[in-house]
Structure 1
Amino acid sequence: MLSNIPVARAGVTGASVGRPDGVSRRRVEFRAPDGVQLVGHLRVPPGNAGPRPAVVVSNAMTSVKEQSVNAGYAQRLAAAGFVTLAFDQCGFGESGGLPRLHEDNQRRLDDLHIAVSYLTGLPSVVDPERIGVIGVSIGGGLALNLTAYDPRVRAFVAIAAGLLNPARARELMPTYQDMLADQTSLLRRYHRTGALDYIPVVRTPDVPDDQPVLFDNPIATEYYGTPRGAAPNWRNRVSALSLRTILVDDTRTAADTIGPGAGLLIVGDQDVATLPEDHQAVHDRLTGPKRLEILPGVHHNDLYDQAAVGTAADLAADWFTTHLR
């Protein structure tokens, strides 16, 4: 089946890699309208069933395709019968684009639209009328937004999702105004000089105590700062201006305009990073088919690479089976 996938513009696709479950994985390249090359892993289920439903996979913040979305969700959903596309967002991992290692939710959302267009250009492999999206952490909020703004996407699954808008961010962050002022100063400098300051994503033993980091908390460190989150294409480095996307971008209000898109939200009841009450609030605002699963005893990072991933992936597969008919 993967032999039918066209060579990407200005690049070639990699060799197909077979898996014990019969899933084939190929490195693929596709381009944004501005010429930036995006690199992903396309997985195709075993067999010759013809065009299949497909799921775009949306990464956690600063993550690359080999991390939390990889075997846990992209591979499991492919084994369940869905074509999946996990890819590096612009500026991260193997993908091109400048500035490097800079988080921008609007650009990430653009990348997700481009990924949908890529999938719809594979008519022998993908049924363009049956496309969904799954996302983890910030990627979960963007999965919701993609479904609201792209009618080609019929269903989403948001897992331990970042579901903020500026109003909610102000409620949760006592120093919000000071943080926004600091980020605005960095933005002013970037606009004037084109230069970005870079900081570690998390604090590790080699990071001085007085060095600012993007996520200065044990939740992020236990994944990104340990071998659990190690990946060849990931670096413990990100632009200091990346925090601004959490403060000012909206991954929540799209719930009011998502229309008929079907939404499943999954979160652990012990998640103090992306709160269960935020998932409940978004669930209550959805107007299409919807479901909320709050998993007992599960923390945020458990839904990256621990046993809870199996539960979440099974729920996602059932959801997509129902709503991508």
Structure 2
Amino acid sequence: MVSRRPTPLAALLAAFTAVALSGLAMPGAAIAAPRPVARAAAAAVATTPVRFVDIPGAGVTLKANYVAPSAAGRYPAIVFPASWGLNDLEYLAQAKILAGRGYVVVSYTPRGWWSSGGEIDTAGPKDMSDLSKVLDWAIANTATDPARIGTAGISYGGGLSLLGAAFDPRIRTVAVLSGWTDLPYSLYADSTRHRQSAALLKIAADLLGNPGPELSGKLNDFAANRNADQILAWSQVRSAETYLDALNANRPAVMIANGWGDSIFPPNQLVDFYERYTGPKRLELRPGDHAIAELTGILGLDNDVWNSVYRWFDQHLAGIDNGVATEPAVMVKPYNAGAERYADWPDLASTNTRYELGHIRDWDDTGLLGGAREAGWSKTIPTDLNTNADGGIVLLTNGIAALTGEQPSIWLPTVNRSRAGVWASERPSSAQRIRGMPKLHLELTGTAAKGTVVAYLYDLNLIGTAKLITHAPATWLGTSTGNRTIDLDLSATAYDVPAGHSLTLVVDTVDPLYYDENASGGSVTIAAGSYLDVPLR
């Protein structure tokens, strides 16, 4: 085991683990069920104590624990790989609940983290071999039924779980919570490097793991903006979408749950994967940032995401017909409306409305969003100056919004019009129900060979308060200056713009969430022919 000095992050994670362990005994002792878990407790069966074990991985030792029903027999099993920066203690509360529902539950710390051996493989081939070794061990050493094995996890654990199902056909059911399907997109969405999320992953790896030269080199190259082709090839190997054919052949039952505002693994990649996956599937999207929606469930509290996980495994792994198989497969919880269910993702929106970007009015430096297409106008903005329109802080901004129910907001008059383009729609007399991915088309003139723009879509009320609905950056990496076209999918969302409010677009060039490719002292001009397409219900 590598010795590490205590750090603030390590202390925070230790405190998190301590909360998860509250009410849980040490190895060999009986473990009390977390409270409140009324729905789980009603179906509970007697379980063994949690046992802490070493599992031989692919050339390394993996730290793990397991808990199971105590009665003799064979049971469906769920394997939980721990999240990035956490260890096998992470799922103790949920493991006890699931064991009480009739599952063998094995949780393990992936290689390179905490006391597990080796270097962090970041869901690479060695991690896939380790996961198969964990399945081998579970079948040989627990009451696992080899024909009924599932995997699940949050974030890193969710990504490992889905990837594992492409390589090991014994995995029949998967639950991916705040995971990824396209790692290149997570790092370089629309060619824009995600600054804060990558930095957070590096801090955790350096403090709590053994990143080794491979991961350290990739993260250092990412921060220094070099060897992008090598990073993309490395990350493609670690993406479930690369192995979609194998997953479609194996046909595990896959549940995907994520937050609209996930700042580490934005949801568009998950929607794309979901639409192309042909096996049994379910997609759930809720307000929140990375791992926020499922957080209280880690503590053993009643939680909507985890309740869906229980039902998914009961239906597809335990063979309990609870109606999941016949329910609409897509569940979305809008930011400001009740949960909705749809048969498929395209059913969310019934129409697409195009909002033309109009000329900037002299009296308020704002353009009309909507109306007839106008020719001849343009808006020039600097490439190196920020505004107070931004995506917030990774994990915190959208995480707090999910907990409070209040979207991040700005007072629109304070957006500096010399640094941004602003377009506001008329105020309709009925609500506008946005469902899906708004798409922005920008005609740019006078651009440098490389550059970045960031677009924000707001709900503007009568007194100037603008609530952020969705946003996204776009970067171009050309070799020549001049005119160019940008087509940008904003992050998927579900939001009801109230009657009398204005749909408002802000475009600037700097956001602390992202690295940009803008030259100091430069400018870019947004020109006529630009428009915004909004999917409406």
Could you state the TM-score of these two structures normalised by the residue count of structure 1?
0.69
Residue 61 of structure 2 aligns with an amino acid whose one-letter code is Q
1:1-325 map, 5 Å: 15-21=27-33, 22-23=46-47, 24-34=49-59, 36-45=60-69, 47-48=70-71, 50-67=73-90, 69-71=91-93, 73-97=94-118, 99=119, 103=122, 105-122=124-141, 125-166=143-184, 169-175=187-193, 215-216=198-199, 235-236=207-208, 238-239=210-211, 241-242=214-215, 244=218, 247=232, 248-249=234-235, 250-253=238-241, 254-258=243-247, 259=249, 260-295=251-286, 297-303=287-293, 305-306=295-296, 310-324=303-317, 325=319
- 3-state SS of the aligned residue for 2:50? strand
Mapped partners of 1:144, 1:38: distance in 2: 19
Mapped partners of 2:32, 2:129: distance in 1: 34
Change (3 A) 1:39 1:215: same
Mapped partners of 1:214, 1:276: distance in 2: 14
- 3-state SS of the aligned residue for 2:265? coil
Residue 216 of structure 1 aligns with an amino acid whose one-letter code is A
Change (3 A) 1:138 1:162: farther
**Displacement of 1:304:** 5.6
Mapped partners of 2:123, 2:151: distance in 1: 19
Are the aligned partners of 1:138 and 1:163 in contact in 2 as well (CA < 8 Å)?
Answer: no
Are the aligned partners of 2:165 and 2:171 in contact in 1 as well (CA < 8 Å)?
Answer: yes
**Displacement of 1:129:** 0.7
Mapped partners of 1:104, 1:274: distance in 2: 15
**Displacement of 1:76:** 3.1
Residue 20 of structure 1 aligns with an amino acid whose one-letter code is A
Are the aligned partners of 1:142 and 1:251 in contact in 2 as well (CA < 8 Å)?
Answer: no
Are the aligned partners of 2:185 and 2:269 in contact in 1 as well (CA < 8 Å)?
Answer: no
Change (3 A) 1:303 1:86: farther
Mapped partners of 2:31, 2:185: distance in 1: 45
Change (3 A) 1:261 1:50: same
% identical aligned pairs:
23
Are the aligned partners of 1:53 and 1:127 in contact in 2 as well (CA < 8 Å)?
Answer: yes
Mapped partners of 1:255, 1:272: distance in 2: 24
- Structure 1: gaps of 5 or more residues: 1-13, 180-212, 226-233
Change (3 A) 1:237 1:113: closer
**Displacement of 1:58:** 1.9
Q: How many residues align?
A: 258
Mapped partners of 1:293, 1:175: distance in 2: 26
> With CA pairs under 8 Å and 6+ residues apart, which has the higher RCO, 1 or 2?
1
Larger radius of gyration: 2
Residue 268 of structure 1 aligns with an amino acid whose one-letter code is G
**Displacement of 1:84:** 0.9
Mapped partners of 1:299, 1:214: distance in 2: 12
Mapped partners of 2:84, 2:27: distance in 1: 28
Mapped partners of 1:285, 1:277: distance in 2: 13
- Structure 2: gaps of 5 or more residues: 1-25, 34-45, 220-230, 320-537
Mapped partners of 2:71, 2:172: distance in 1: 24
| CA-atom RMSD in angstroms | 3.2
Residue 269 of structure 1 aligns with an amino acid whose one-letter code is W
Mapped partners of 1:280, 1:236: distance in 2: 32
Mapped partners of 2:315, 2:30: distance in 1: 27
Mapped partners of 2:295, 2:85: distance in 1: 16
**Displacement of 1:15:** 4.4
Residue 88 of structure 1 aligns with an amino acid whose one-letter code is T
Q: Which has the higher helix share?
A: 1
**Displacement of 1:274:** 1.5
